[in-house]
Amino acid sequence: MKRMTFRRAIVPGIAAAALLLTGCSGEDDGGDGGDGESSDISGSVTIDGSSTVFPMSQAAAELFREEAPKVEVAVAESGTGGGFERFCAGETDISDASRPIEEDEVAACEEAGIEFTELLVATDALTVVVHPDLDVDCLTTEQLVELWKPGSTITNWNQLDPSFPDQEIALFGPGTDSGTYDYMASEVVDPDADEPATRDDFESSEDDNVLVQGVAGTEGATAYFGYTYYEENQDSLKALAIDDGNGCVEPSAETARAGEYTPLARPLFIYVANTNYADDEAVSAFTDFYIENLTAIAEAALFIPLSDEEYTETQSALEGIGS
Amino acid sequence: MSAATVAAREVTHAIATGKSRDRNVGSLVFLAGLWFSLFFGVMVLVVLIVDTLIDGSARFDIELITEYDSILHPEAFGFRAGILGTVWVMIGTALLAVPLGIAAALYLEEFADNTKWYNRVIELNLQNLAAVPSVVYGLLAVATMALIGFDSTDIIIGGAIALALLILPVIIITTREAVRAVPQDIRQGSLALGATVWQTTWRQTLPSSIPGIATGTILGLSRAIGEAAPLLMLGVAGSVGFDPTSPTSQFTALPIQIYSLSSSSREDLRVAAAAAIIVLLVMILTLNGLAIYIRNKFQRTW
């Protein structure tokens, strides 16, 4: 049921996008917006930002290409922080982000006179994985914090819980530049610090495949990364359920959408520059298309689509840009 | 060839082929060491290439070069935009770097007064520049673009400026070597017949050093073609669904696409990355083959 309402086929999606276009844009583009033909629109859309969200925007661009072949969409992946830097310098139209924009970035945008709108586009379940032979199935949030907090001295699983096996822990994690690390540090492990961090004595790599191999090949190893990397490597990894006070919850599309997989279900965003949306037909057509087909795009990019309520919120945020 | 070179060559040949009469343990061990080093270097390369070939073998199809990137159909992921972008950027790089590099080298070699301090400073800096990490050239290009007055840096001109700056020192240094290798007799003969320094350089020295210049330039270009780091600094896109049409088009390049795909969670995309590495290798080998051809065709002996 839910699926049916959300998984719009592309053609009706486009029609809806066109409708939305004509609906929001008052007199400024009433002339060409009237017929609702997005295939006539030309122009360019520049996107940069998180490498986690990159496949999403890439899929959106690919789908949009079939509908509006004259619009040139370029998607880069400088990372969430790097993306905001360019976004607030006015170089990009849309910024992908795997975390909400930070205060200093907001300040930079304000200084440059760039107003933006945050759109929630998908959910990712940060997945804590361990070597498949390890006899641990569930961690409480406290134990996770205990394990990863800065200066943590835990080196053996049985230090976390006496019932856990006597096995040395090998830690793997994403590099400190990644939004994944930022999320773990600022939302889970160290939320109160000025500069949130995790412990630093872990093997880090910007390439999550390296983390997968590291955990799969090291007894007692653990790591955390985006859900898709676990999904694609289920044979060689074991995902831990997380107990945030309401019992152990396995990471999955269902639990993340239902809001049960806390605190590791993290939101993924795109940020749209308001002026570019209002003035540039290509940007507004692309953004509308993106949001209209959000479920299809998220599924194509192997992300967890938004729940109904979240989707409605995103839609109203989009409608708010024009006004 | 001087007598010393000939003698050295004979000795090396005799030792390497085991025909030397004075074989002692030391020289044999040394020889084995040399062969091992050679074997090690070549083996690593062979293993890497074969491994990549095996990984990418499933994707040697026409879609690989005719299609754009695709998340919806990862099995038909294509590198059309990357290949075209790389070709455009390489042309731009060559147009910027070759004339500048050759002119700078000719000045330093034929016209500059080496006793002046500023020429020595330039020379010292050139040697240092050749050793600067490539990311730094990305930053330099960003600054250059801002100075020229471009709003965005992720366009073909930006990539060409970054890569041209990157290989300029290499081109200057190899061109100087090539120019220096032209015998002094040729210059003096030309000057004695009444030619000016400019005429001598343009009509004698430069044509004679073409093989060396071409080799150095093309080797420089084939280094630049594989660079991702400076382009990433410019914010060059990893996914574009259109062909570049002008020097100010946005683009993507093969190394960037490979970099972005190789960390993907999907097997299909990593296979595509491996296949793209082979495409890039073929492009590099073609360039290097061209270098060898030009060198042999224009080779002169005095």
pLDDT bracket for residue B17 (50, 70, 90): low
| Chain B residue with Cα closest to A93 | B152
Would an 8 Å CB–CB cutoff place B288 in contact with chain A? Answer: no
The pair of three-digit structure tokens given for residue A229, joined into one six-digit string: 């990397």
Verify that A249 and A278 share a domain, yes or no: no
Structural contact between residues B229 and B134, judged by C-beta atoms closer than 8 angstroms: yes
d(CA B230, CA B134): 6
Which residues in chain B have Cβ-Cβ distances shorter than 8 Å to A65? Answer: 68, 241
Cα separations in angstroms, B8 against A167, B1, B11, B13, B258: 62, 11, 5, 9, 45
Cα four-point dihedral sign B289, B290, B291, B295: positive
Verify that A318 and A200 share a domain, yes or no: no
Verify that A118 and A133 share a domain, yes or no: no
Would an 8 Å CB–CB cutoff place B264 in contact with chain A? Answer: yes
d(CA A86, CA A116): 13
At A193 the pLDDT is 84
Torsions phi, psi of A302, nearest 5? Answer: 65, 35
Q: How far is B142 from chain A (nearest CA, A)?
A: 12
| Amino acid of residue B74 | P
Helix (H), strand (E) at residue B81: helix B80-106
Could you say which of A223, A238, A263 is where a domain stops? Answer: A263
Compute, in degrees rounded to 10, the torsion defined by CA atoms B217, B221, B222, B224: 140
pTM above 0.90, yes or no: no
Helix (H), strand (E) at residue A267: strand A265-273
Q: Is the CB of B235 less than 8 angstroms away from the CB of A51?
A: no
Q: Is the CB of A209 less than 8 angstroms away from the CB of B242?
A: no
Would an 8 Å CB–CB cutoff place B153 in contact with chain A? Answer: yes
Q: How far is A199 from chain B (nearest CA, A)?
A: 24
Helix (H), strand (E) at residue A5: helix A2-6
pLDDT in tens, B262-285: 888 888 899 999 999 999 999 999
Verify that A247 and A272 share a domain, yes or no: no
Could you say which of A224, A244, A263 is where a domain stops? Answer: A263
Q: How far is B220 from chain A (nearest CA, A)?
A: 27
B152 closest CB neighbour out of A91, A209, A300: A91
Q: Is the CB of A72 less than 8 angstroms away from the CB of B241?
A: yes
Verify that A131 and A220 share a domain, yes or no: yes
d(CA A59, CA B77): 12
Using CB atoms within 10 Å of the CB of residue B70, give its burial: 0 to 12 exposed, 13 to 18 middle, 19+ buried: buried
Verify that A220 and A271 share a domain, yes or no: no
Which residues in chain A have Cβ-Cβ distances shorter than 8 Å to B69? Answer: 58, 62
Cα separations in angstroms, A210 against A204, A224, B174: 9, 12, 39
Tens of each residue's pLDDT in chain A, 323 residues: 344 444 444 444 444 444 444 444 333 333 343 344 567 888 999 999 988 899 999 999 999 998 898 999 999 988 888 899 999 999 999 999 988 898 899 999 999 999 999 999 999 999 999 999 999 999 999 999 999 999 889 999 999 999 999 999 999 999 887 778 888 998 898 888 888 889 999 999 888 889 999 999 999 999 999 898 998 899 999 999 999 988 999 999 889 888 899 899 989 999 999 999 999 999 999 999 999 999 999 988 888 899 888 999 999 999 888 66
Q: How far is B243 from chain A (nearest CA, A)?
A: 9
Which of B235, B194, B84 is CA-nearest to residue A83? B235
A62 closest CB neighbour out of B154, B241, B252: B241
Which of B225, B218, B220, B231 is CA-nearest to residue B279? B225
Verify that A91 and A149 share a domain, yes or no: no
Q: Return the residue in A62, A127, A237, A304 with the most chain B beta carbons within 10 A, the one to mutate for interface testing.
A: A62
The size of chain B, in residues, is: 302
Q: Which residues of A209-236 are buried (b: 16+ CB within 10 A; e: fewer)?
A: bbbbebbbebebbbbbbbbbbbbbbeee
Verify that A255 and A279 share a domain, yes or no: no
- Could you list the residue range(s) of the whole structural domain that residue A8 is in? 2-124+267-322
At A78 the pLDDT is 86
pLDDT bracket for residue B1 (50, 70, 90): low
Would an 8 Å CB–CB cutoff place B154 in contact with chain A? Answer: yes
Which B residues 157-176 touch A at CB under 8 Å?
none
The pair of three-digit structure tokens given for residue B142, joined into one six-digit string: 């960003």
| Chain A residue with Cα closest to B150 | A91
Q: How far is A90 from chain B (nearest CA, A)?
A: 9
The pLDDT of residue B20 is above 70: no
d(CA A50, CA A209): 17
Which of A122, A120, A121, A112 is CA-nearest to residue A276? A112
Could you say which of A212, A230, A263 is where a domain stops? Answer: A263
Would an 8 Å CB–CB cutoff place A78 in contact with chain B? Answer: yes
Would an 8 Å CB–CB cutoff place B263 in contact with chain A? Answer: yes
Q: Return the residue in A42, A56, A73 with the most chain B beta carbons within 10 A, the one to mutate for interface testing.
A: A73
Verify that A292 and A308 share a domain, yes or no: yes
At B16 the pLDDT is 64
The pLDDT of residue B116 is above 90: no
Verify that A135 and A247 share a domain, yes or no: yes
Q: Is the CB of B265 less than 8 angstroms away from the CB of A58?
A: no
The pLDDT of residue B47 is above 80: yes
A207 closest CB neighbour out of B241, B263, B267: B263
| Amino acid of residue A63 | L
Number of domains chain A contains: 2
The contacts of residue A172 (CB under 8 Å, 6+ apart) are A202, A203, A204, A205, A211, A214, A215, A218, A221, A222, A223
Verify that A99 and A223 share a domain, yes or no: no
Verify that A203 and A165 share a domain, yes or no: yes
At A323 the pLDDT is 60
- DSSP codes of every residue in A63-99: HHHHH-TTEEEEE----HHHHHHHHHTT--SEEEESS
A300 closest CB neighbour out of B71, B154, B242: B71
Region B243-272 average pLDDT: 91
A72 closest CB neighbour out of B72, B242, B270: B242
The pair of three-digit structure tokens given for residue A25, joined into one six-digit string: 């844009």
Helix (H), strand (E) at residue B143: helix B134-148
The pair of three-digit structure tokens given for residue B10, joined into one six-digit string: 């004979």
d(CA A167, CA B79): 46
Q: What is the CATH number of the domain that holds A159?
A: 3.40.190.10
